[in-house]
Amino acid sequence: MYHKTQCEGFQCEQAMLEVPGEAESIRQGVLERLVSWMRHRSLFVLAYGTGCGAIEMRPLMTSRFDAERFGIVGAATPRQADVLIVSGYLALKTLRRVIRSYEQMQEPKYVIALGSCTINGGMYWDSYNTIKQVDRYIPVDIFVNGCMPRPEALIEGFVALQGRIKNGEKGGYHHYREHIDWYKANQRKVLGDQIPPTYTCDWYHAGGVV
Amino acid sequence: MTLPLTPVWFVALPLLLAFASPLWVRLRLLMPLLVGTPAVLLLLALALLPEVRIAPLVETIVIAPPLGIHLQLDSASWILVALISFTGLLATAFIWLGDGESYLRDRRAFIFLLLLIAGCNGMVLTGDLFNLYVFLEISGVSAYALSALRRDAPALEAGLKYLLIGSVAAVFFLFAVVLVYLQIGQLNLAAIAEGFAGIPGPMQILIGLLMLVGLGIKAELFPFNFWVPDIYQGSHPVVAGLYSGFLVKAFLFVLFHLVFLLLADPGVAGAWLMGLGAATMLVAEVVALRQDDMRRMLAYSSLGQIGLIALALGFGAEATTAGGLFHMANHTLIKLVLFLTAAVLMRSFVSARLADLAGAGRARPLAAAFFVLGALAVMGLPPLNGFASKLWILKGFAEAGVFWPVALVLLAALIEAGYYFRWIKVLYEPRADLPEARAVERWGYAPIAVAAGLIVLLGVAPFLVDDLFIEGAQALLDRGAALSAVLGAGS
Amino acid sequence: MSAILRLLFLIVSLSPGLLLLAWDGSLSWTLIDGVRLSLTLTPLAGFFMVLLAVAAPLVALPMLRRPLDWSSLALYVPLVLGMELLLLAGDFISFFIGWEIMTWSSYLLLLRSPRADLETSQSYILFNLASAFLLLAGILFYYSLSGDFRIGPLAGTTFGQELILAVLLGLAFLIKVGTLPLHIWVPSSYDQAPDLFSAFLSGAISKMGVYGLILLLTLFPDALTSLAGRLLEGPAAGYLLAWIGVVTSVVATYKAIAQEDMKRLLAYSSIAQVGYITTAIGVGSSLALAGALYLALVHTLVKVLLFISVAGIVLQTGQRRFKDLGKLIERMPVSFFGVLIGIIGLAGMPPLPGFAAKYLIFVSLVDARWLLLLAAMILASTAAFIYCYKLIYGPFLGHANSPQAREAREAPLIYLVPQVILMALLVLFGFLPGLPVQVLIDPVLVALGMETIGGASWAELTTTYGGYDGVVLMLVFIIAFVLVTGIFLLLRGRMHRAGSPYDLSYAGEVPTEGTPLHYGAGMGRELHRIPLVGWILRRGTRGFYLGLAGQMRAAAALLGSLYVGRPQIWILIAVVVFAASLAAQSMLGGL
Amino acid sequence: MHAVVDSLAMIGVSYVMGFLFYGFYRQFNARVQRRWGPTIWQNLFDNMKFFFKSETLIHGPMFFFGPMIIMAGAFTTVLFVPFLKDSDWLQGFSQYGNLILIIYLLVVGPLGNALAVGSSGNPFGVMGVTRGLTRLMGLEVPFFLGLAMVMLQHETASVHAIMAAQDSLAHWGIVTNPIAFCVILLPFIGSQHGAPFDVVGAPVEVYAGPRVEFGGRLLGVLMTQRMMMSIAKLVLLVDLFLGGATNILVLIAKAFSLFLLTTVISMVFPRLKTEQAVDFFWKVPLGLGVLGVILTVWLPSWSA
Amino acid sequence: MLAFLNDPGVLHGIVVLGTLILFFIGLYGLLAKRHLLKVLIGIALMELSVYLLFIGLATSPGETAPILSDGLRSFTHMADPVPQALTLTAIVIGLAVLALGVSLAIQYHRLTGRADVASLTELKEPR
């Protein structure tokens, strides 16, 4: 189904993990800039509370740190969300659901990975069933490191993400589309046949990579 | 030689033919004569109709009344005679055409059927009390024998039971006749009617009650009718159809004829009879709810209708009486259809039980359709004839402003619907394994179809015949006219 | 031969319409001594004849689908003719004849369904006959008062007599329309009747009860007001009737929500709708009667449409329960639109004419100052949204829940033609809510001696409380809809269809065919937790009637024990009765 | 032409009022909770963001048309509510409608949307719809009863006539018929999806309720119609009880004060379950309504 | 010695008493006996009592047979002939009924081996 194509080996992988930076910002007209500005002021967050990071989300959203002043509010379903927060380590079981939720979100969509575990496994670096590097399976726009990061750090991550959105930079979802084969191969490697069904990425078969 | 058209033939013809039966066996004329006799009587009745409508026909035998015996054909008894002949015609036609059981087609059955017709005609026509007793016994004996005709255990049982209770009724009636004669010294009904008021009161009551019990048993009124379902169930349905069709009607007619003729003021007796009629109707309809044998169910239903007729006649108003007479005729047609259909179904499926007839409507659609028609008519649903007569009766009550019979009649009709529609539903039960149906002669449907056609015709156009019944009611109720017709204007 | 018979059948089914066009003058003849039948066409009867003229051919048409059921066709003929007689009746006897023909022929038609069980058929016929016999009793009472069977206002009667008459006839008609304690026969018979015949039962036959109720009003010189004076601005006697109607609507609506079978749901909804009509008749003002007639019209159109659509679904899938259907929208789109239009009409949503009818009734209630009734009616009519939604969600939306539902095809053309006609009629009346008022209802009001309510144009529905304009409303809505859709499609961005019906946001899970995704069967179950609704839903009258039947059987057994098969006991009883009555008479002192 | 411009103006006004009021609501809510809160424009941002999402998933044609129907319903509703009295402007088509029509138009949209939800095949959505309909059933009874009392008071169902009758402060509906206002107030909050009664669409209650499958531009449509519908209802109440408005500023002021009242009530009550909400509507506001009917309709007629 | 019998009142009284006793004996047999033939005999007794009553009451002491012979040329002091004729007819009819009953009973006995009136239970109400 999803098959490996161009890329093999360590260097290749490294290249794939390079999320496009500022250099690749897109030229925008007035309308696009206006829309981008609106978008950065309104982020609906699907918080995927897989680990201890979920604890840090509560103070973020409530009175003390009040993320709503940045236009950041929670969303109940992936259909309505703009940002997926992976808050901590992922196990094999949760990875599947995170991928499916990510694929069900409507573009433009972004991912914030919270905590060290999402970068390299953190304290679970040698566990047999945790996922060490989330960005091998879904594209991560912002990593917020720390074990756990404080809400302030998370806000900083959000602000950084907002900045990138405002500038109209390409998000991780572009990358996901362009390299879907690689992502799917990685997912298949750990999940086997349990990867989410194809219809959640039907654009892949339609060939419509925007 | 010219044969005068007189009412005597209604009695004489069937009697003569019955007693000459060995001759007909030899000549292979049994079946044609069996059907032909009631047909001829019907034609005779029709031929006499214009005369009867002008004035009652009084046929004297040997000596003039009040001393001699006479037959009286007035508008009321004409209805009964025509009904008896017509019913006899259809039932015998069914026996002939329907290619039915052999015991209904042999000499004995021939004799008893004709005797039954003769007896009933005689009862209705006679103007003599003892003669009445004789005809009562003739029809009774032939009825007992007809019940037992099949000569298996249920049939013999029915015959015996009928005989026992019938004899008791006859004894009671005979007792009354004896008392009447001893008191008045007359046997002519008109003469008795004149002298009846002169009898001491307690003796009147005694005679009245004896007659009530005697005729009440025969006419199937409530506390005396416990024998009815057993006899109807044990007899062949065609025979039961005859009982329900004209035998009981004849007794009922005799009962009311006596009441209206003998009593100058039939009020108290009428009230008694209304009460008995209402009780008969309600009790029978309620008990019918739990029957699961078609003959038995029809017997109860017949009882219910008899009760209704008694209720209507007992009221004594012209409209109710006319309606009651009309209902007699209608009920005869309806019950004929129902019992003949039951005969067809029984022949097809061997049993008349509810469980065995489930789904029969799909195997015998015509028979089931006739059953439905009869059921609708007996419940008094328009546009069938039962409706017309019930409406007439109820209208009579409403005109008089008496509403308790209306309520009872409607309640009884509702209960009646409760079991008839249960049967209809079961007849049309969708069943994968349709019951095996034995072949029946298609011509057997012809008499049923004739009766059914009349049911519809009388329902749609009762105005064709309503004059007859009004005249009949007047003849039945008008005591003075009846007396003067027999005894002369001066009496 | 078969073609000629079918043609004849169609002609009979069209006969109400032909009668409307061709009837003039009157007919009369004597049935029996003193009973004279006369046929005329009053405007009121004409209105109901219109309903019959719409329902009869539209139900008849799909009945001609092969394989033909000749018995049903044959029984349909007396049914239609009987109802025509009932409507043409100028006297009570022909009214009753038509009524009874309707009753038994509809019962026999009901038996044509293989699903009809004994309890249902018995309850159908017994309730209907009880209604008929009450009617007959009332007619006879009327006859004893007026000395004539002709239908006309009574004069010179006492309050007690009027009350008896109103109760007898009223009960008869209330059974027919199926108001509350007397409704038990409706749901099961509508459910188990042949699918197409249910449409006729609900669309046409139940309207005859409504006709009767309105006819009952015309018997009294001053309608219901003469019976017990006035309460607030309406007749006090009507207040009771109105409450009966409203309670019926409320209870039937909740029962409808709790059903898990399409036809039963529609049956209860019929009860509820006719309950509104009853209420309106209770109000008795010209507005209210107009509303009642309007609702009767709409209900006929809607219920025939819905029952035919449902019949199509049952025909194609063989399923009738919500839990066995689903997602038919893609397989049966025309039926979907049929049901959609139907439920919009049923729920009384603008812009379809169901709203016009409810509007008239609501305004009449406000006008009569009967606000508590209004509140109860609103309760029923908003709760109706739930069953309407269930009706369209269960079969058409959600997920297909049975192999038949997955592979169904659109209903045959002969089922679709009536649906399309009815949809067109409903939309037309939506545009022109004043059309039925001016053409059909105003003549009736004139004949009843009430003021008319027709407006300046067909597009308008006017009352003293204000009105609305159907054309403007419809156009505004359509233009808004077109504009919104157009603008939406002009916006940038990719819009694509989900690749699978199972692409649902389901907490990250991947639902499959085995996942219980269809919410059709359980919908509305949570309403049990609302105290009032739970109280209503836990109660029913079936136990009472079953108990009654049991008592009847016990009585039969008791009396049957008199009929012992022993001759000696018969004789004994005869002798004892003889002796006892002799003794009694002689003690009472003779004749 | 006038009608077109007028209609567009009404739609515009209601939209602007809608996002500003709700923006205010969010900020006010945040301040009560001792937060800073978003800007007053936040609702505009959210709405626009959804309108310009680059991907929208639909589940079949009915799923697409549902939001269109609800939007058309919102437009129609707005156009049938007169915004101003004694003015040619902001009238829409209100002279062709009446109060009862408006009440029913308010539910046209949600029912259209319910079709879309059903068509999505998501059981959570349908559960949400059922809850919504249940709540509607609960609130509509006292709501309509209150309106009926107003109709009876003025003996008309025309909003224009009711407005015209309230020519001075002393004749405002809230003064002349306070019971009706009290009866209506809580159901009104319910119909605005306000706080104690907002279990239907609340996030994470049965997975976001009816909107669970809507995303992208369709969600934008739904948000828009909700804001416009709320404004239509507010204006309707202003027309009925606060004497209407002669110009746009008065209208905004009156509507805002009413909005503030409902907001304050919403903020201090915890959320009720659906059946609790229905039971509440049938006990408190409806009981009050029955009392009102007895006081204002029955007693005068008996004493007369 | 038996002259008191010449008083019609006494004679008729005795007749009435006797026939009534006979009637009730018949009734007793009819109601209480279980054998079919005994029951039939009961009926016959009842009929007989009615005949006796009729004849007994219709005739007064001193009346002769109503036959015009042996020099009798007028209808005086004759018994009323009608009751006698009627009774003869009734006896014939009663005999016919009795014969039919007995024959039915015999057939029934041959068919089932029972002659007990209580065993006539083929036809009865359903349980």
**From the CA of C512, how many Å to the nearest CA of chain A?**
11
State yes or no: pLDDT of A6 exceeds 80: no
Give the 3-state DSSP-derived string for E42-99, with helices as H, strands as E and coil as C. Answer: HHHHHHHHHHHHHHHHHCCCCCECCCCCCCCCCCCCECCHHHHHHHHHHHHHHHHHHH
pLDDT > 60? residue B1: no
Of the partner residues A39, A42, A106, the one whose CB lies closest to the CB of residue D55: A106
E101/B148 touch (CB, cutoff 8 Å), yes or no: no
Give pLDDT tens digits for E77-112: 777 888 888 899 999 999 999 999 999 999 999 999
Contact list, A107 vs chain D (CB under 8 Å) = 53-55
Record: contact B182-E58, CB cut-off 8 A: yes
Residue type, B368: A
- Is A24 or C117 the better-scoring residue by pLDDT? C117
Question: Which residues in chain D show pLDDT less than 70?
Answer: 203-207, 304
Domain extent listing, chain C? 1-221, 230-491
Question: Number of folded domains in chain E?
Answer: 1
| Residues of chain A contacting residue D49, judged by C-beta atoms under 8 Å apart | 35, 38-39, 41-42, 82
Asked if D42 and A75 come within 8 Å (Cβ–Cβ), the reply is: no
Chain A nearest CA to D56, separation (Å): 6
Whether the predicted pLDDT of B38 surpasses 90: yes
Cβ-contact B157, E108 below 8 angstroms: yes
Mutation pick from C562, C564, C568 vs chain E, by most beta carbons of E within 10 Å, is: C568
pLDDT digits (tens, 9 = 90+) for D96-133: 888 999 999 888 877 888 888 888 888 888 888 888 88
Domain regions of chain B by residue span: 8-487
Chain C residues whose beta carbon lies within 8 Å of the beta carbon of residue D153: none
Rounded-to-integer distance, Cα D293 and Cα D149, Å: 7
- Tell me: pLDDT of A50 over 80: no
Which pLDDT score is estimated for C332? 92
Q: What is the pLDDT of residues C511-535, one digit of tens each?
A: 888 888 888 777 878 888 888 899 9
| Range scoring the smallest mean pLDDT among A57-61, B160-164, C302-306 | A57-61
At D281-304, the pLDDT tens digits run 999 999 999 999 998 888 888 776
- Contact assignment for D156 to C501 by CB distance below 8 Å: no
* Interface contact flag, C590 B205, Cβ < 8 Å: yes
Closest residue of chain A to C495, computed from CA coordinates: A106
Of C560, C567, C572, the CB nearest to E117: C567
Q: What is the pLDDT of residues C88-116, one digit of tens each?
A: 998 999 999 999 999 999 999 999 888 88
**Position B65 confidence tier, pLDDT thresholds 50, 70, 90:** low
- pLDDT, tens digit, 9 for 90 and up, residues B169-216: 999 999 999 999 988 888 888 888 888 888 888 888 899 999 999 999
Using the Cβ of E125 and the Cβ atoms of chain C, whether some distance falls under 8 Å is answered with yes
Domain ranges for chain D: 2-293
Q: Which of residues 452-511 of C touch A (CB under 8 A)?
A: 494, 496, 498-500, 502-503, 505, 507-510
Q: Which residues of E touch B159 (CB under 8 A)?
A: 104
Looking at beta carbons, which residues of chain B come within 8 Å of C30?
Answer: 463
Whether chain D has a CB inside 8 Å of the CB on C488: the answer is yes
Domains and CATH numbers, chain A: 10-18+27-194 (3.40.50.12280)
CA distance E98 to chain C (A): 16
Residues 6 or more apart from D166 whose CB is under 8 A from it?
D172, D173, D176, D242, D243, D244
Kindly tell me if the per-residue pLDDT of B490 is higher than 50: no
From chain E, the residues in CB contact with C563 under 8 A are 125
- Cβ neighbours of C570 in B, within 8 Å: 165, 224, 226-227
Mean of per-residue pLDDT scores for chain D: 89
**So what's the pLDDT on residue A82?**
92
Is B406 close to C143, i.e. CB distance below 8 A? Answer: no
Task: Find where tokens 């490294």 sit.
Answer: A14
Please write the tens of the pLDDT for every residue from B365-408.
899 999 999 999 999 998 899 999 999 999 999 999 999 999 99
Is C476 touching D (CB cutoff 8 A)?
yes
Question: Looking at the partner chain, which of C563, C566, C571 has a beta carbon nearest the beta carbon of E118?
Answer: C566
Instruction: Output the CA torsion sign for A174, A177, A182, A183.
Output: positive
The secondary structure of residue C229, as a DSSP letter, is -
Please, do chains C and D touch (3+ CB pairs < 8 Å)?
yes
Contact D222, D70 (CB under 8 A): yes
**pLDDT value of position A48:** 83
Chains D and B touch (3+ CB pairs under 8 A): no
Position C547 scores a pLDDT of 93
Is B54 a residue whose pLDDT tops 50? yes
Q: Which residue among A79, A197, A199 places its CB closest to the CB of C505?
A: A79
- Block means of pLDDT (10 residues each) for chain C, 591 residues, are 90 91 84 86 92 94 89 92 93 93 93 90 94 94 90 85 91 91 91 93 92 89 71 84 93 92 93 94 90 95 95 92 88 93 91 91 91 93 92 90 88 94 95 91 89 84 87 92 92 82 84 82 82 89 91 92 88 92 77 45
Which of C28, C30, C31, C566 to probe by mutation at the B interface, max B CB count within 10 Å?
C31
- For residues A17 and D180, the model is more confident at D180
Q: What's residue E3's pLDDT?
A: 76
Decide if A30 touches D, using CB distance below 8 A.
Answer: no
Cβ contact C313:C325 at 8 Å: yes
Residue in A26, A64, A69 to test binding to D, most D beta-carbons within 10 Å: A69
> Residue D239 CB: number of other CB atoms within 10 A?
28
Q: CA–CA distance from C299 to each of C181, C274, C295 (Å)?
A: 22, 8, 6
Q: Find the CB nearest C565 among E31, E32, E124.
A: E124
Chains that touch E (3 or more CB pairs under 8 A): B, C
Q: Is residue E97 part of a domain?
A: yes
* Distance separating alpha carbons of residues B244 and B238, to the nearest angstrom: 10
Q: What is the pLDDT of residue A209?
A: 39
Residues in chain D: 304
The label of the residue with tokens 């009161």 reads B201
By Cβ distance, the residue of B213, B287, B410 closest to C563 is B287
Lowest mean pLDDT among B442-451, B454-463, C397-406, D70-79: C397-406
Nearest Cβ partner for B217 among C556, C563, C574: C574
The answer to whether B41 and B10 are in contact (CB under 8 A) is yes
Type of residue found at C299: H
Mean pLDDT of A66-84: 89
Instruction: Determine whether the interchain pair D207/A210 forms a contact, defined as Cβ–Cβ distance below 8 Å.
Output: no
Q: What is the ipTM of this complex?
A: 0.90
Chain-chain contact of D104 with C507 (C-beta, under 8 angstroms): no
Q: Does D45 touch chain A (CB under 8 A)?
A: yes
Kindly report, residue by residue over A112-147, the tens digit of the pLDDT: 998 888 888 888 888 888 888 888 899 999 999 888
Q: Nearest Cβ partner of B160 from E90, E120, E126?
A: E120
- What does the pLDDT read at residue C566? 87
- Residue B363 banded pLDDT, cuts 50, 70, 90: confident
DSSP, collapsed to helix, strand or coil, labels residue D1 as coil
Residues in A touching D212 (Cβ below 8 Å): 76-77, 79
Mutation site, D34, D49, D204, interface A, largest A CB count within 10 A: D49
Distance (Å) from the C-alpha of residue C553 to the closest C-alpha of chain E? Answer: 12
Measured between CB atoms, which of D53, D144, D301 is closest to C375? D144
Which chains does B contact via 3+ CB–CB distances below 8 A?
Answer: C, E
Yes or no, beta carbons of E111 and B137 under 8 Å apart:
no
Query: Which chain E residue has its CA at the smallest distance from C557's CA?
Result: E127
Of residues C30, C32, C581, nearest to B392 (C-beta)? C32
Angle at B221 between CA B217 and CA B226, to 5 degrees: 65
Report the pLDDT value the prediction gives residue E73, as an integer from 0 to 100.
64
Give the pLDDT band of residue A76 (cuts 50, 70, 90). confident
- The two tokens of residue B80 are 């009964």
Range of the domain at E28: 3-61+79-119
Across-strand partners of C261?
A: C321
Residues 23-82 of E with CB under 8 A from C: 27, 30-32, 39
Q: How many residues does chain A have?
A: 210
**Whether the Cβ atoms of residue B162 and residue B142 lie closer than 8 Å to each other:** no
The answer to whether the Cβ–Cβ distance between C497 and D148 falls below 8 Å is no
- The secondary element (H helix, E strand) that includes residue A130 is strand A130-131
Q: What is the CATH number of the domain that holds E104?
A: 1.10.287.3510
Touch between chain A and chain B (3+ CB pairs, < 8 Å)?
A: no
What DSSP state is assigned to residue A27?
P
